């Protein structure tokens, strides 16, 4: 793959609806679910804004689903940093097997490359087995390999630029470093401003908020950036967002999301809490102060804030030996009787729920339908 960005500029007719989805991470049910909610059809254009594969147990099934979908619909897949690892593995660069083996081994059944190997009856035990696996994939899965190699890094159409990680300018896009377009952490936080709308994934939207976890697309009007990664697969309460653009020559946009969670009905009113806090992946070390059956009172190490956290969210990271937590919050949602809530978890302190892409606690009673729907 070229070291500079591959840019495509397809003609998208005025008034033709565009759906932009990023960071599917091999979650085929979520992908199907969000397309159904968006009523995706052959009249639409689908732009996949990178990290389509890896970290999900159906990465290979998703790849083949996208290959089939591309034959019947207008689909433009862009390469993300996770997809890039698969491409450079297939290229067989010197030293790449030793570099990528720890990553593939960590992902295990969630690795696209290892899923391909399993289908071919190959189960590598170390980097020394990867050359054989590469050769088998190249020889026996040429269509899958061609699809991976075909992905561009940037798509520009009308008022929009789509890229997985980010860009530092709108001009001369072909000269941008390819990897910098795919992996660009905290892109919104860099205070870059653009004349076109730059639609990115890569950095889950929830990482930008310190007060509460908000997973819906974040439209930054002053910067002309839309961040759409809803944390699918990576977050316990993650969702897959589809940004809906009715016309690439206009600025209006909407979204739908799918999270696969059961839906319940709130029976009591609740007011939002004040001064809430959100512990995020980038700063997740905690100290356990008190333990109960299903929750623990924890102190956030860097801020000193204390909150009750689901016991299942706590884990010890091997790299530092410290206690970390999945993204956690003490925010209590505003809720009115009769509102539908997506149920994340239930514990002795109440219900962890989602409403309009925002995760928080609900302390009231709920009603479950006989057969709960999903959000």
- Predicted local distance difference test score (pLDDT) of residue 9: 98
User: 15 Cβ partners below 8 Å, 6+ apart?
Assistant: 246, 247
Do the beta carbons of residue 366 and residue 292 sit within 8 Å? no
- Predicted local distance difference test score (pLDDT) of residue 319: 87
Q: What is the pLDDT along the chain (375 residues), one digit of tens a residue?
A: 469 999 999 999 999 999 999 999 999 999 999 999 999 999 999 999 999 999 999 999 999 999 999 999 999 999 999 999 999 999 998 999 999 999 999 999 999 999 999 999 999 999 999 999 999 999 999 999 999 999 999 999 999 999 999 999 999 999 999 999 999 999 999 999 999 999 999 999 999 999 999 999 999 999 999 999 999 999 999 999 999 999 999 999 999 999 999 999 999 999 999 999 999 998 999 999 999 999 999 999 999 999 999 999 999 998 899 999 999 999 999 999 999 999 999 999 999 999 999 999 999 999 998 765 566
Do the beta carbons of residue 229 and residue 281 sit within 8 Å? no
Concatenated DSSP letters for 288-351?
EEEE-SSEEEEEETTT--EEEEEGGGEEE-TTT--EEESSEE--B--B-TT-EEEEEEEETTEE
256 closest CA partner among 220, 235, 228, 233? 228
Kindly list the distances between the CA atom of residue 342 and the CA atoms of 53, 245, 266, 374, in Å, as whole numbers in the listed order.
Answer: 26, 26, 10, 7
DSSP class of residue 92 equals: T
pTM for this prediction: 0.95
Rounded Cα gap, residues 100 and 90, in angstroms: 11
Rounded Cα gap, residues 19 and 226, in angstroms: 13
- Collapsing DSSP states into helix, strand and coil, what is residue 48? strand
Q: Which residues pair with 323 in a beta bridge?
A: 316
Rounded Cα gap, residues 80 and 57, in angstroms: 18
- Predicted local distance difference test score (pLDDT) of residue 5: 97
Rounded Cα gap, residues 42 and 288, in angstroms: 52
In the chain, DSSP finds a helix count (H) and a strand count (E) of 8, 23
Phi, psi of 5 (to 5 degrees): -70, 140
Task: Count how many Cα atoms sit within 13 Å of the Cα of residue 73 in the half-sphere of its side chain.
Answer: 22
């Amino acid at each position: 793959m070229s070291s500079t960005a591959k840019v495509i500029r397809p003609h998208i007719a005025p008034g033709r609806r565009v759906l932009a989805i990023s960071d599917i991470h091999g979650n085929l049910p979520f992908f199907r679910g969000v397309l159904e909610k968006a009523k995706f059809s052959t009249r639409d254009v689908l732009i996949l804004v990178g990290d389509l594969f890896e970290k999900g147990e159906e990465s290979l099934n998703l790849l083949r689903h996208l290959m089939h979908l591309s034959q019947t619909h207008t689909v433009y897949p862009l390469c993300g940093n996770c997809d890039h690892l698969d491409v450079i593995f297939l290229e067989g660069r010197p030293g790449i097997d030793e570099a990528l083996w720890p990553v593939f081994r960590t992902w295990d059944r969630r690795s696209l490359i290892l899923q391909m190997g399993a289908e071919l009856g190959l189960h590598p035990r170390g980097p020394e087995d990867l050359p054989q696996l590469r050769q088998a994939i190249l020889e026996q899965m040429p269509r899958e390999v061609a699809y991976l190699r075909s992905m561009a890094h940037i798509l520009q159409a009308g008022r929009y630029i789509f890229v997985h990680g980010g860009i530092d300018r709108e001009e001369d896009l072909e000269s941008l470093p390819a990897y910098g377009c795919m992996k660009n952490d905290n892109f919104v936080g860099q205070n870059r401003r653009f004349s076109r709308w730059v639609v990115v994934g890569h950095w889950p939207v929830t990482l930008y908020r310190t007060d509460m976890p908000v997973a819906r697309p974040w439209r930054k009007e002053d910067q002309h950036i839309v961040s759409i990664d809803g944390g699918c697969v990576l977050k316990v309460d993650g969702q897959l967002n589809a940004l809906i653009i009715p016309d690439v020559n206009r600025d209006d946009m909407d979204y739908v999301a799918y999270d696969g969670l059961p839906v319940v009905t709130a029976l009591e009113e609740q007011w939002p809490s004040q001064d809430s806090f959100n512990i995020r992946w980038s700063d997740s070390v905690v100290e356990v102060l008190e333990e109960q059956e299903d929750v623990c009172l924890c102190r956030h190490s860097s801020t000193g804030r204390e909150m009750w956290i689901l016991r299942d969210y706590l884990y010890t990271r091997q790299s530092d030996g410290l206690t970390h937590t999945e993204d956690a919050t003490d925010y209590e949602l505003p809720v009115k009787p009769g509102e539908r809530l997506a149920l994340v978890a239930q514990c002795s302190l109440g219900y962890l729920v989602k409403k309009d892409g925002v995760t928080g606690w609900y302390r009231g009673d709920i009603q479950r339908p006989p057969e709960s729907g999903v959000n």
